Structure 1
Amino acid sequence: MTAWRITLRLLRQDWRSGELYLLSAALILTVAAITAVGFFTNRVEATMERQGSALIAADLALESSSPLAEDLSQEARSRSLETARTVEFRSVVTAGRQPQLVQIKAVDPGYPLRGELRVAEATDLDDRPSATGPPAGDVWVESRLLRLLDIAIGDTLRVGETGLRIAAILTDEPDQGRNLFSIAPRVLMSRADLPATGLIGPASRATYRLLIAGPAEAIADFKPWLEPRLAANVSLDDALEARPEFASAVDRASRFLRLATLVTLLVAGAAIALASHRLVERQIDAVAVMRCLGAPRHLLMRVFVLRLLVFGLLASLLGCLLGWLGQLGLITALADWLEQDLPPPSLTPVLIGITTGMIALLGFAVPPLAQLAQVPPLRALRRDLGRPRASAALTLGAAGLALALLVFWQANDFELAWKLLAGLLGALLALILTVLVLVRLAGGLAGRASGVWRLGLAAMARRPGTAVLQITGLGVGILALLLLAVVRVDLLKSWQETVPEGAPNYFLINIQPHEVEPLREFLSSVEIQTPDLYPMIRGRLTHIGGQAVDPERYQDPRAERLATREFNLSYGAEMQPDNRIVAGDWWGSKDAPPQFSVEEGIAETLGIELGDDLTFWVSGHAISGPVTSLRKVQWDSFNANFFVVASPALLRDEPATFITSFFLPAEREAVVAELARRFPSVTTLDVDAILRQVRGVIDRGVLAVEYVFLFTLGAGLLVMYAGIQASLEQRRVEHGILRTLGADRRSLLTSLGVEFTAAGLLAGLLASIFAESTGYLLAEQLFELEFSFNPGLWALGVLGSGALIGVAGTLATYPLLIRPPLRTLRGEG
């Protein structure tokens, strides 16, 4: 009870005197950043996953070449999940006497479960969303079918044995881009009308899909039940596996958000350590008096720990409240972009925030405060005894352990965590060693300088430990601000440019060899930049490294599906421009011996290693060759790309069709109609829908990262302020003595300007170096983006920090100069 009574009394006194303001600000900001990101990313990532769900019109999609068992949908409905069925097939429709091959999709009334359909009432009207598919008796068609058949809305389209009224123009389907090799133009009808068409029988070639959607928890419970019950010819798709380019965008968004959170955590941790250092300075005299009055060390330690726990819990709760308000602000700002029915966040971020705050406080603040228990009672009478010496091993060990624990916990990504920790450790060691060298250099220059220059530089050399702590803290703060600029200006810009304006929005497939040159000439005649055309050959993977491919030996469902599917193979002497070799070597010659290059992701999924022999069954016979390179493919470039590419010697004699992609502005859509007329066997695929969704994910991710980095900005400014405040207690005594010895205020003020400006220049120089280095490593190693060094960042970092810290430090210490020297010599607070 005595410890609790003393604890509460001291906390009340500390708060009234302002002792805890800086430490509480650092802790509240840390917890606010963690909880805001926790609340916000839970909701935003759910929204991003819904964007992925829109690509398959559901959360889960089962696909088969035969009707799917009814018990699967019954089980889903019993778990309160929504279901809808679709049937997709190719057929010929007629209007009058003119036939046209189309891709028909018959859907249930509940289709789509995710995303939205968009239709227009006429070709010259804007489209509108539709909550359901067409009603029975109606059909929606793409606009080019109207041009091809020379018909209009309201006319009758003959589908098999029945006639359906064309009620609207189909402008967008959520799952339109799920299969790049579907035949266009597309026709959407009700599944209730399907029996009347007479087009679907027991042996019909059709694709049957069962769409499933519901709460994330219910989907997560249902999926393990579902997977072992699927027949061999049934594939299961989820949101993030729907398209690799979409998965790439979501993955980068998640990594950027985690990076922003971790940088805020690291910088705020530095602020907590600096604030604890200042708190120790201000508490020494009070502790000495308590020791004189008989307080034992164990009581003092108990009081210190209780003070931290109570203070940490209150500050963490306040940080959680601030984090909640912060994520509400961002949700409001993104109201036009985000879905209105965002799932509410759980209380998990609150528990995570409080735990993070307590770990950060105990790890960074306990070691400095533990020194207070070592204060001798004689300190109350002899002020020259100073503060007790801290244990460097305890301080660094506790801070390092807390930092590692928090980083690995919050990152949820081992690669991101260890790279960030390794980079931070290297940066801190380099920063401290460099500062030590520069402080010694400043001491040498002080001996050759005169006047206020000598006084300012000598102040840095006179307190090397404080100078290292101060400049390192300032450097970390400036590094956070500059890293914010690097991520905002360079990395996020590079990320947005991965899907630039003008990215290919049309694919041409089924191009026959004799059509390659005429097609090139046609595209050139309509002023479309002649694209590269790549040969494409279908093949099934049968052996890896001499062992037969057995789908059942793969634990990963995606690997199992890949092992049963046919691959689109290609060949060429030159590597595609948006591919990069990550292992092995590219052959680089059309006469190279038989060999393969494999995309690194699918190689990891299927267990393919460099040097393995692969065997594919192509056109009725086997072809084999070694894997001589692994490639990184930029899927979100929307260029034609392949998982497996062979040297020409392997596949050039095999029958092949060709594929290409190009960009066509919306106002030139008539070119597509002319292309279809001249090359009727070539299938044209419009992927604008996918481009819009991927760009939407990137834009939302960029805005989310920018918002989260506002916490980093606040933490960086707080660290800079804490760095300036760290030495005020020592300066108070020094300035009192110098004023007594005759130093005037103007000279002391100028020397402070020299000292703080020099510290700012040094911190800015080091921070600029580390910010650029960190940005380069993040771009190259983590996000796989192009990075260009920014000279303007160096000018901003060095000159800006010198001016900012010079002015801020001088203003912060100015009250010490107007303080009467007698009060300082008497030891008055």
Structure 2
Amino acid sequence: MSQGSSLSHTGRDWRQRDVRVLVAALVIAVATVATIALYASHLERTLVTSASAFLAGDRQLESENGEPIPQTWRDEAERRGIATARMVEFSTMVFGAGNFQLVSVKAVSDAYPLRGEVEFQTGPDASRQMVGHGPAPGEVWVNPRLLRLLDLDIGGQVEVGNRSLTVSGLLIREPDGGFSMSALAPRIMMHADDVASTGVIQQGSRVEYVNLFAGESDALDAFYAWLQPRFGPSHEWESIEDGEALSDSLSKARRFLLLGGSLAVLLAAVAVAVASRQYAMGQRDTVALLKTLGVPGRRISRMYLGRLVLWGVVGTMLGILVALPIFWGLASLTAELLEREADYSVDLLALGPALITALVALLAFAFPPIQRLRQVPAMRVLRAQPGEAGRGVLRDGLIALVAIFGLVWLYAGEIWLVLALLGGLAALLSVLGVLGWLLVLGLRRIVGGGNAWRLALVGLYRHRKASLSQIAVFSMTLMLAATLILVRSSLLDDWQAQLPEDAPNHFLINIGPEAVGDVRGFLDGHDLSTDTLYPMVRGRLTTINGEPVREVVSKDQSVGALNRELNLTWMEDLPDDNRIVRGQWFAPEATEGLSIEAELASELGVDLGDRLGFTIGSQTIEQPVTSVRTVQWDSMKPNFYMAFPPGGALDGLPATWITSFHLDPSRKPILNDFTRQFPTISVLEIDHIIDRIREIVQQVTQAIEAILAMILAAAVVVMAAVVSATLQDRQREGALLRTLGGRQRLLVNSTMLEFALLGAFAGILGVVAAEVAVWALQYRMFQGTFQWHWQVVVMLPLVSAAVLAVFGRWQLNPVLRVSPMLLLRRLE
């Protein structure tokens, strides 16, 4: 076959409806996956950059050994194109206007902050402003409460050690203030160059040196690799993901986006498989004719493979061209939401999933039915053989299953996400097998007649193979769409519900045992909703089953909990936002055992029965693990890695207490009264952290809604393509009925009823399979409590029935508009 003849065949292919449907399905597949991948990359980049303000940089390097971080390390970072800044943090007494006050000092260099801005006031009555620097040398910014506690005015002098500094402004909020729950208040900020002259820091002083770094992720990772061999035991490298509350929110955001992308990948596979099978079915007569002309089967396979590659290239390019403007539109919405300049940069690596999806979809779903065309006998030219031979179908099904598993695994990387979606599909196909048997058994007893219902039921039986395949595709499509609908309506709502309007936005820490009653009385007296007051003992995990923890845990593992003291507590009741995943909570009279947070247990390789040893001051304790529990770090309530029973191993050890409460911004002056009455208790304001988490939830909700719209549009196109698979057969039957005197009304009603029944069956199966998938996702990935979503369960089958009834009516247009004789001649 000449090249000109091949091009001629290719040109004719573009005019065929089946080819256009296949390319359109591929365009939709690539566009959907590419848009989600690009937007997910953009959103994650935006969230991490935005959240990095809580570190005042992209990374922090801390040194708690009282020794400054070497200047050579900062020089190396700057040589690599990484911006740097310095901080020194310590506690000391300050003197002003005849009063003394214990404060937490943050001394910063000129470059601070590298990310985010400092909220600042020039005076108590001045408007707040955001600035990108700290105080100048010789000046100090103080917390507004400290101004009142020391009875100072702006322009007054405050003594820090041997140095007198001028109060030049009020420190309202630092970008990295409150990132650590152990941060102390009230805070003052001074310039780092003034620290030496204060004389406060001496040999053995409790001081923390911090270096900030900001730059490209690759450069930061390479710099960290250079730093690691030089670290001492007290050096700690932190990113935004090391903060429990924000890290948990970012992790959930990624999971939601991965879930949406995985659903798009599955829907893309369904779309391409349906379209390619339709095309292959329509090419059997052409292949038979080619064989009668002497064209060998191997050459036919190469010819169709070449066409498939061409369609793949065209579909992929068009899909990316469609995805780019949609992505830019979503990026604009995100920029508008965050009130910042839009970032339209395209991450080329993010297009990888779309290209891989196109390649796998073509090879695993499109090529097998087209490749089997070489098996079509030449005798088909003389004798039509309806249907497709069953040989190879099982093999194709196994290839498709492996491809689906591989695609979702590659895209998501979450085993429970893969298992949940494939488990839902498996349950769906199992029910379909039973339904098919019942359908054949029940409908074969029905005979035709002049009633629309009877004709619809007879039509289902007459097209039983096509009906079952259509129900299978419809229900899979609806399952994918319903899963995302349920995620939007359930999982996201549950996440949002964790931070209601009255969520705690202030912490009280360092509450002495003697002040617990008075603090509770103060909060009750001011009508402040408070969580339970929890005791807190600081201790370091040192042994696991009697072995040093550093020997048990691999040095290659980065477990932040091993680099610092942990907050240990005892509690009688399990908090509402915690859930036991293994073991049992403490019995009422129990004094032995401890409960450990699930993620830390996994990192340490700890399970029930293992004994953990802690060093608390000069004492050591050891207790067995009796339960493993999940913790919602982003609930903004006091949470702990380790919990002991009352009267247990922590009994008698010195403890301070912690609690949280909600305070409206208009009632902030109450904090001044509190700090005057309880000057040794630290108030930690976390309003900004809550605002950022709500911002993350809002952005993810926007992304899920955009993904849902695209998936629903793709689902409608897939369903339309499947309905058109039996277009010729149904149009032929409609023409025959009209020739035999059938009325248009009867034909319309019976066809719409037949497709409405298909839609109802598919909707019921799809929504039940979606509930199974969401149950697994909610239980294993998002640690939520599953509930049936009856509104969706009821509505989806009705909507599906209505949509497919409309599609069925659309198929009848040629039958109703064209003469039956002309239509029959055209179809033959």
Alignment TM-score > 0.5, same fold: yes
Aligned residues of 2:582 and 2:628 also touching (Cα < 8 A): yes
Aligned residues of 1:139 and 1:167 also touching (Cα < 8 A): yes
- Structure 2 SS opposite 1:681: coil
- Structure 2 SS opposite 1:627: strand
- Structure 1 SS opposite 2:558: helix
Matched residue, 1:410:
411
- Following the alignment from structure 2 to structure 1, what is the Cα–Cα distance between the partners of residues 402 and 786? 32
Give, in angstroms, the shift of residue 479 of structure 1. Answer: 2.4
Q: Deviations over 1:524-581 (max 9, x none)?
A: 111123531111112222321122323695324532x533532221112222222111
- Following the alignment from structure 1 to structure 2, what is the Cα–Cα distance between the partners of residues 757 and 353? 34
- Structure 2 SS opposite 1:774: helix
Aligned residues of 1:470 and 1:726 also touching (Cα < 8 A): no
Matched residue, 1:750:
749
Query: Cα gap change, 1:602/1:500 in structure 2, threshold over 3 Å: closer, same or farther?
Result: same
- Following the alignment from structure 1 to structure 2, what is the Cα–Cα distance between the partners of residues 195 and 625? 45
Aligned residues of 1:64 and 1:235 also touching (Cα < 8 A): yes
Q: Deviations over 1:423-465 (max 9, x none)?
A: 3233233334334433543444x34976222211111111221
Alignment of 1:328-339 (within 5 A): 328-338=328-338
Aligned residues of 1:11 and 1:307 also touching (Cα < 8 A): yes
Query: Cα gap change, 1:428/1:114 in structure 2, threshold over 3 Å: closer, same or farther?
Result: farther
Matched residue, 2:701:
702
- Following the alignment from structure 1 to structure 2, what is the Cα–Cα distance between the partners of residues 431 and 189? 70
1:656 aligns with 2:677: no
Matched residue, 2:144:
143
Query: Cα gap change, 1:315/1:94 in structure 2, threshold over 3 Å: closer, same or farther?
Result: same
- How many residue pairs match? The answer is 824
Aligned residues of 2:328 and 2:344 also touching (Cα < 8 A): no
- Structure 2 SS opposite 1:164: strand
Query: Cα gap change, 1:562/1:505 in structure 2, threshold over 3 Å: closer, same or farther?
Result: same
With 409-418 and 223-232 compared, the bigger mean Cα shift is at 409-418
Alignment of 1:190-269 (within 5 A): 190-241=191-242, 243-269=243-269
Give, in angstroms, the shift of residue 792 of structure 1. Answer: 1.6
With 7-16 and 265-274 compared, the bigger mean Cα shift is at 7-16
- Structure 2 SS opposite 1:537: strand
- Following the alignment from structure 1 to structure 2, what is the Cα–Cα distance between the partners of residues 679 and 435? 73
Letter in 2 for 1:490: S
Give, in angstroms, the shift of residue 724 of structure 1. Answer: 1.2
Letter in 2 for 1:284: R
Give, in angstroms, the shift of residue 342 of structure 1. Answer: 4.3
Matched residue, 1:519:
519
Matched residue, 1:611:
609
Letter in 2 for 1:263: L
Matched residue, 1:781:
780
- Following the alignment from structure 1 to structure 2, what is the Cα–Cα distance between the partners of residues 213 and 488? 35
Aligned residues of 1:756 and 1:806 also touching (Cα < 8 A): yes
- Structure 2 SS opposite 1:334: helix
Q: Deviations over 1:465-513 (max 9, x none)?
A: 1111111222223223322321211111112222222111111111111
With 806-815 and 252-261 compared, the bigger mean Cα shift is at 806-815
- Following the alignment from structure 2 to structure 1, what is the Cα–Cα distance between the partners of residues 373 and 563? 68
Letter in 2 for 1:610: L
Letter in 2 for 1:615: G
Give, in angstroms, the shift of residue 372 of structure 1. Answer: 2.8
- Following the alignment from structure 2 to structure 1, what is the Cα–Cα distance between the partners of residues 408 and 557? 31
Q: Deviations over 1:716-763 (max 9, x none)?
A: 111211221121122133233333333333322221012111111111
Aligned residues of 1:436 and 1:468 also touching (Cα < 8 A): no
Query: Cα gap change, 1:615/1:481 in structure 2, threshold over 3 Å: closer, same or farther?
Result: closer
Matched residue, 2:400:
399
- Tell me, which stretches of 5 or more residues in structure 2 are unaligned? none
With 345-354 and 82-91 compared, the bigger mean Cα shift is at 345-354
Matched residue, 1:632:
630
Matched residue, 2:482:
482
Letter in 1 for 2:350: P
Give, in angstroms, the shift of residue 805 of structure 1. Answer: 1.2
Aligned residues of 1:551 and 1:564 also touching (Cα < 8 A): no
- Following the alignment from structure 1 to structure 2, what is the Cα–Cα distance between the partners of residues 201 and 482? 64
Q: Deviations over 1:355-403 (max 9, x none)?
A: 3212102211122223433333343343465555553213212322322
- Following the alignment from structure 1 to structure 2, what is the Cα–Cα distance between the partners of residues 193 and 541? 37
How large is the RMSD of aligned CA atoms in angstroms? 2.3
Matched residue, 1:469:
469
- Following the alignment from structure 2 to structure 1, what is the Cα–Cα distance between the partners of residues 449 and 166? 93
Identical positions, percent: 34
Give, in angstroms, the shift of residue 705 of structure 1. Answer: 2.1
- Following the alignment from structure 1 to structure 2, what is the Cα–Cα distance between the partners of residues 490 and 56? 32
- Structure 2 SS opposite 1:176: coil
- Following the alignment from structure 2 to structure 1, what is the Cα–Cα distance between the partners of residues 551 and 669? 45
Alignment of 1:303-318 (within 5 A): 303-318=303-318
1:734 aligns with 2:737: no
- Following the alignment from structure 1 to structure 2, what is the Cα–Cα distance between the partners of residues 415 and 126? 50
Matched residue, 2:544:
544
Letter in 2 for 1:776: W
Aligned residues of 1:31 and 1:320 also touching (Cα < 8 A): yes
- Structure 2 SS opposite 1:169: strand
Give, in angstroms, the shift of residue 214 of structure 1. Answer: 0.7
Alignment of 1:407-486 (within 5 A): 407-444=408-445, 446-447=446-447, 451-486=451-486
TM-score, normalization: structure 1?
A: 0.95
Query: Cα gap change, 1:354/1:231 in structure 2, threshold over 3 Å: closer, same or farther?
Result: same
Aligned residues of 2:553 and 2:604 also touching (Cα < 8 A): no
Query: Cα gap change, 1:783/1:226 in structure 2, threshold over 3 Å: closer, same or farther?
Result: same
Query: Cα gap change, 1:356/1:811 in structure 2, threshold over 3 Å: closer, same or farther?
Result: same
Aligned residues of 1:253 and 1:702 also touching (Cα < 8 A): no
Alignment of 1:271-282 (within 5 A): 271-282=271-282
- Tell me, which stretches of 5 or more residues in structure 1 are unaligned? none
Query: Cα gap change, 1:341/1:162 in structure 2, threshold over 3 Å: closer, same or farther?
Result: farther
- Structure 1 SS opposite 2:504: coil
1:106 aligns with 2:124: no
Query: Cα gap change, 1:106/1:449 in structure 2, threshold over 3 Å: closer, same or farther?
Result: farther
- Following the alignment from structure 1 to structure 2, what is the Cα–Cα distance between the partners of residues 387 and 564? 65
Query: Cα gap change, 1:428/1:7 in structure 2, threshold over 3 Å: closer, same or farther?
Result: farther
- Following the alignment from structure 2 to structure 1, what is the Cα–Cα distance between the partners of residues 158 and 481? 63
Give, in angstroms, the shift of residue 213 of structure 1. Answer: 1.4
- Following the alignment from structure 2 to structure 1, what is the Cα–Cα distance between the partners of residues 449 and 568? 73
Give, in angstroms, the shift of residue 417 of structure 1. Answer: 2.4
- Following the alignment from structure 1 to structure 2, what is the Cα–Cα distance between the partners of residues 390 and 774? 32
Query: Cα gap change, 1:80/1:343 in structure 2, threshold over 3 Å: closer, same or farther?
Result: farther
With 760-769 and 302-311 compared, the bigger mean Cα shift is at 760-769
- Following the alignment from structure 1 to structure 2, what is the Cα–Cα distance between the partners of residues 234 and 314? 53
Give, in angstroms, the shift of residue 19 of structure 1. Answer: 3.1
Give, in angstroms, the shift of residue 117 of structure 1. Answer: 1.6
